[in-house]
Amino acid sequence: MSDLICPHCTKEAPHGAKVCQGCQAEIHYGEPPRILMLLLRIVSVVLAIVLAINFSSDIWYMGVIVAVGGYFAGRALLRVKYADEIDFLRIYKTK
């Protein structure tokens, strides 16, 4: 793979590096946006509650199992979709 260019300091960083040597920005590979992961968690919890309420009292845990399975399947699909994403995250410290 080719080198990456940091959008904060425009210094080159080799592919696979965890931190930019120029500005100390963290480099994250293949992570879905946090808002999508939060939305997936919320949908999974709501699905678990709805399914647990709708199943009979003897098999309420099936709703939880379906929701947990859906969460992990959704997480895997999001990771595949965003596998080529590279994010440079830098925290600007002010006094």
> Taking the model in full, what pTM does it have?
0.63
As a whole number of angstroms, the distance between CA 6 and CA 30 comes to 16
Q: What is the pLDDT of residues 19-59, one digit of tens each?
A: 999 888 999 888 888 898 899 989 988 888 887 777 766 77
Residue owning tokens 């830098």: 90
Mean pLDDT, rounded, of the chain: 85
For residue 79, how far is the Cα from the chain centroid? 7
What mean pLDDT is predicted for residues 53-82? 83
Side chain identity at 75, as an amino acid letter?
R
